[in-house]
Amino acid sequence: MTSAPRQVELRFNPVEIDRKWQERWEKDNLYRVEDRDSRPKWYDLTMYPYPSGDLHIGHWYAMAPSDCHARFRRMQGYNVLHPIGFDAFGLPAENAAISRGIHPYSWTMSNIENMRAQLRSIGAIYDWDREVICCLPEYYHWNQWFFLKFLEKGLAYRAKAPVVWCPSCQTVLANEQVLNGSCERCDAIVTRRDLEQWFLKITDYADELLDFGRLVEWPEKILMMQRNWVGRSEGVEISFDISHNGLEEKDIRTFTTRIDTIFGVTFLVLAPEHPLVPQLTTDGQREQVEDYVNQARQTSEIDRLSTDKEKTGVPLGSYAVNRLNGERIPIYTADYVLTTYGTGAVMGVPAHDERDYDFARKYGLSVRTVIAPVEWDGKEPTEAFLGSGFMTNSGKYDGMTDDEGVAAISADVERNSWGSRTTSYRLRDWLISRQRYWGTPIPIIYCATCGAVPVPEEDLPVLLPEDAEFKPTGESPLADHKAFLNTICPRCQGPGRRETDTMDTFIDSSWYFLRYISPGFDKGAYDPELLKQWLPVDQYTGGAEHAVMHLLYARFFIKAMRDMGMLDFDEPFLRLFNQGVILGSDHEKMSKSRGNVVNPDDVVGVMGADAVRCFLMFIGPWDQGGPWSDVGINGVARWLNRVWALVERNPDDLASGETDPQVVRDTLRVLHQTVRKCHGDLDRFKFNTAIAALMELVNHLSKVWAEASVDPENWRECIEKFLLMLAPIAPHISEELWERTGHPYSVHSQGFPEWDESLAADETITLVVQVNGKVRDRIEVPAGIDEPTAHQLGLYFANVAP
RNA sequence: GCCGAAGUGGCGGAAUGGUAGACGCGCCGGUCUCAAAAACCGGUGGGAGCAAUCCCGUGUCGGUUCGAAUCCGACCUUCGGCACCA
């Protein structure tokens, strides 16, 4: 992309002004955040970026408006913490190491170096002394410490879990490395493999994560997504009798939310991975079942979860007994049932469940209606009936509504000890093991006699060895590194072997906002006194793509820490706001292949940081995102140019004109309305309308100047307040103009202007009086008029009898 | 399939029950200039009219209301998220 054409001839040198003030602010430590401060604190946090190497215009879109908000809070008299750091562990660094032979550390740190400079060009109030980089030992030390604490508390455990495995590369793949069931590097068909891995018990907090009561302001949309993600459903765990098989296990446990349909069960389905599958398979079926189970292993989870795919399954050859009616029902295995949800077994009720219906039709299983729709004709249904109705074919429960049936059958099931009412969650425990080099080593030592032994706290951090080999074989560099691998068991002093898996990077982002409080603190993850002072985060902003995982993990972390007595609040982020996505000027998502990527450095180097900041905020509502426009940015550049010219005028030139009291009143009204509008809009992230209001004020002042109908004092007041309102939006140019108008440094240390309601609120509106759609009259009424008064006035003016 | 958000000039958008189109882009006309750019001034939803003015107009169709872009119902389209959850 070539640099954007500048079609505006500026009266000032924006690049020079950016440089001048960025240097001055840094020299004076203007934005250093002091912990000791009498002002109330405000923690305005933006999601920290991954150091990909280049600051994208999308980063600007996330950071410039959030900086504006932080600056606004600062001018409102808060001691604002608005920090920045880098989410520096992760896959891309490792890929760069493999493909280009650069060590992940050097790759990451040089990217950070580059991005720091680019971030500075935004002109944000970042206090760089608080920068957090989570790939450094001084940070990941505490990841390891948290892990040990979770382990102590019983919130971390080890279990087998499947990973995606490429048989040709001999390596574990991330989901994003699998394309249509094949490895992205070698095209081999991927399979799944069970590995011992570490989990954190987020499911212990499932119910509390659904309680959003302590959040002050989160988008309803995000709450909905989290609710669905946790996926709480209440039902009954009901067991089916298999004691006639002579196995140790006498029951198949299934979970259902529709226990009222228990008399409609015509088959059972076990997930292919279900432990009872081999035992319940008869010899005649064994070959077929084993083939099917192997095939299900090969099938990627995504394919297995696809609704388009036709249902498949295989009968095991054995049967179970439905204890409520004594019926024998066949047992199948089918991949539409997942081990990870409920009990991994499902009672098949084809008449009242779509998947079961499809399955039953395909395999010729009977379909028995047990909930009768209101106008049921008694015929076999042609699709699953999911609605409400009356129970039928259900013995003594016939005639009840489905709700009554749920209550009655649940009670009977519990009385007979056939099962119990339970709650099931879609949420799974958090798998934190990654078979990668570039992450936090999990501080565990395996010993032949002692088992998995935690590394003692005083031995932390377990350092990532710097001299790992990155070979394209797919071998984990840690598993290969003898010096790292071989160690001594801390318990018995015998030979030990280190855990070679590293942690998920979501661990880093689950507490990085605590580290900003005391980034250099070496006696713990954070200074507890300062934590009390700064946390929780008052306002969090970032992309909606982190709606579930990151935000749920961080909420879980804080709740677990609270229960371990480390802190005393319940939620990390009180308010949340999600910005939208910045699109290319072709209204499409920016991508290198489309060639619509905007490089912010090019634009800033010509237009200056303030023009880019203003344009990004002016495009439209921040949460909606919008298209970049090389042409549109000229609009705000032109406006800043007009602002410059306006502010440079000598107010004393107005002394010769004749002051018009009406114009003075109007001008003050516009001024105070603008202040009020900016206050409300900047508070609620409505930057586009705040800027529009400032533009209107400028337009008004230009007109007033031409008429010379206000006195110099009015003019000075307007300009001063205008510059203060502009300061959080365009910090460089407003600082420059603040100085040029003879004000003491710095505009950013001033308070945001206040408005006088009496000067702002003399608006009237035109009320259109209509009778049956015909306009009878138009009347001027006060804007704050209430409904009944308006109605009365209307009747009076329209000359209509009430 | 389910859930959510949104549909307004040539374009980005404003107005959340009170004169639709603020603000900006673009475009048109003018001033300045040898000329152009920039800057400044004016105009700019569609249609009719010399004009004052009138008619139509916020995805589509209905409804509520004195009055609807805004509230309600159905449908269409686009975008985002989730998905065999038993």
Check residue A110 and give its pLDDT.
94
* Count of CB atoms situated within 10 Å of the CB of A139: 23
Q: Are strands A626-627 and A582-583 parallel, antiparallel or unpaired?
A: parallel
Alpha-carbon gap, residue A423 to A373, rounded angstroms = 27
Length of chain A: 802
Distance A636 CA to B37 C1' (A): 19
Q: Which of A267, A230, A242 is nearest to A346 (CA)?
A: A267
C1' (B47) to CA (A670) span, angstroms? 36
CA A725: distance to chain centroid?
31
Report d(CA A337, CA A269) in Å as an integer: 7
Which pLDDT does position A472 carry in this prediction? 63
In this prediction, residues A152-171 reach a mean pLDDT of: 83
Copy the structure tokens of residue A703.
Answer: 């007109």
The per-residue pLDDT for A377 is 76
**Helix or strand or coil: residue A658?**
coil
- Rounded CA-CA distance A697/A671 in Å is 7
Using the predicted structure, report yes or no on whether residue A175 has a pLDDT greater than 80.
no
On whether the CB atoms of residues A438 and A483 are closer than 8 A, the answer is no
Average pLDDT of A623-641?
92
Look up residue A189 and give its DSSP letter.
B
Confidence of residue A692 (pLDDT cuts 50, 70, 90): very high
Nucleotide in closest CA–C1' contact with A221: B4
Are A688 and A639 in contact, with CB atoms under 8 Å apart? Answer: no
Q: Mean of the per-residue pLDDT values for chain A?
A: 89
- A787 pLDDT more than 60: no
* A618 contact to strand B (CB, 7 A limit): yes
% of chain A beyond a pLDDT of 90: 66
CA gyration radius for chain A? 33
Cβ within 7 Å of strand B: which of A 534-563?
544-545, 547-548
Determine the pLDDT at residue A57: 93
pLDDT tens readout for residues A587-613: 888 888 788 888 999 999 999 999 999
pLDDT over 70 for what percent of chain A? 92
CB atoms under 10 Å from CB of A764, counted, come to: 12
pLDDT, tens digit, for every residue of A375-407?
A: 777 777 788 888 888 999 999 999 999 889 999
Report whether pLDDT(A548) > 80. Answer: yes
Cis peptide before A746 (omega within 30 of 0): yes
| pLDDT at A794 exceeding the cut of 70 | no
Angle at A36 between CA A31 and CA A87, to 5 degrees: 55
Q: Which residues of chain A between 201 and 240 are close to nucleic strand B, CB under 7 A?
A: 220-221, 224-225, 228-229, 231, 233, 235
Structure confidence at residue A301 as a pLDDT band (50, 70, 90): low
Contact A706, A698 (CB under 8 A): no
Q: Which nucleotides of B are covered by protein (CB under 7 A)?
A: 1, 3-5, 12-15, 18-19, 22-26, 37-41, 66-67, 80-86
Question: What domains sit in chain A, N to C, each tagged with a CATH number?
Answer: 41-134+202-228+505-630 (3.40.50.620), 233-424 (3.90.740.10), 431-504 (no CATH), 649-759 (1.10.730.10), 764-797 (no CATH)
Helix (H) / strand (E) containing A446: strand A444-447
Structural contact between residues A556 and A153, judged by C-beta atoms closer than 8 angstroms = no
pLDDT in tens, A484-507: 999 999 999 999 999 999 999 999
**How sure is the predictor about A374, in pLDDT bands with cuts at 50, 70 and 90?**
confident
**Residue A401 DSSP symbol:** B
